Amino acid sequence: MRSFSRLSDLSRTDHEYLWLSAAGWHTSGLHRRNRGPQRVGIVGRPLTTRDDLALRAALDALSTSVLTIDEREETTAEALADLGSLVDAVIAFQDIDDPAGVGAPIIVGDARDTRPVAALAMCVRHVLSGRLLAGTAMSLVGAEAGAQAALTDLASVFPLTLHIDQSHPRPDLLERVAAPSSVTLQPLEAASFDTSEVPAPLLAATWAALIEVLST
């Protein structure tokens, strides 16, 4: 598997797309003082090269080193255990028969399609257990509509406080604000909304932004 270690490996369009979804944190300056896991292992690979680029760029932006087991290699229990002993978390894009044997928290990816944002968020919350998001505020003003929708779903899970304006795509939230305003959402069950259409690069960017907030 190729290693993409620099944000410059993304095209200008991909770079902008990646960070649009993290706009709230990057405009607030949180990215300058937060840190995520220092070492992450990746088993298998996402559906497309573009998704792979986005995920690796997100990890690189967090100064996270990456170890990989390519999908063409034999992922024996011993190999997975060796990987788990070297990293803080494992992102798995293929089935792992004995997750407990890995010895590190597992973030479940899906090489066939994207998983719902809520499921990914729950996995990240498990990886960084003990870090509470309640009361955290983020601004969605100026972010692209798809990013606003995805991050609003995350806010519904934890919950978070959102700063939104009339560009927000959810009518039920817009009814509560006449101008830029902060809205605190109540937590929902992960199965209570469908975000299965969110593209994988946006999931990766959301994952990176969430790691930053969780790591304060």
Pairing outcome for strands 161-164 and 181-184: antiparallel
Task: Please say if the pLDDT value at position 41 is more than 80.
Answer: yes
Residue 77 lies in a domain: yes
pLDDT of residue 8: 34
User: Is the residue at 50 inside a domain?
Assistant: yes
- Judged against a pLDDT cut of 60, whether residue 118 lies above it is answered with no
Instruction: Round to whole Å and give the CA distance between 133 and 20.
Output: 21
- When pLDDT is averaged across residues 47-52 and rounded to a whole number, the result is 63
Instruction: Tell me which residue range forms the domain holding 38.
Output: 7-132+192-214
- pLDDT 10s digits, 161-174: 778 888 888 777 77
Overall number of domains in the chain: 1
Query: Is 147 domain-assigned?
Result: no
Q: Of 78-87, 114-123, 141-150, which range is least confident?
A: 114-123
Mean pLDDT over 11-22 rounds to 34
| CATH number, domain containing residue 100 | 3.40.50
Q: Look at residue 51 in the predicted model and tell me its pLDDT.
A: 61
Read off the pLDDT band of 63 (50, 70, 90).
low
pLDDT score of 88: 76
Token pair of 95 as six digits: 């089935």
- Percent of the chain's residues with pLDDT above 90: 0
Q: Which residue has the higher pLDDT, 73 or 94?
A: 94
In degrees rounded to 5, what are phi and psi of residue 139? -100, 130
Inside any domain, residue 138: no
Has residue 155 been placed in a domain? no
Within-domain flag for 20: yes
Q: How many residues make up the chain in this entry? A: 216
Q: Is residue 156 part of a domain?
A: no
What is the pLDDT of the chain when averaged over all its residues? 60
pLDDT at site 21: 33
Residues 138-152: tens digit of each pLDDT: 677 776 676 677 667
* pLDDT at residue 169 in the model: 81
Output 201 or 100, whichever has higher pLDDT: 100
Q: Where are the beta strands (DSSP E) in the chain?
A: 39-43, 65-69, 89-92, 106-108, 137-139, 161-164, 181-184
The pLDDT value recorded for residue 144 is 66
- The answer on pLDDT for 80 being more than 80 is yes
In a domain, 44, yes or no: yes
Question: 20 pLDDT exceeds 50?
Answer: no
Q: Which amino acid is at 37?
A: P
Are the C-beta atoms of 137 and 163 separated by less than 8 Å?
yes
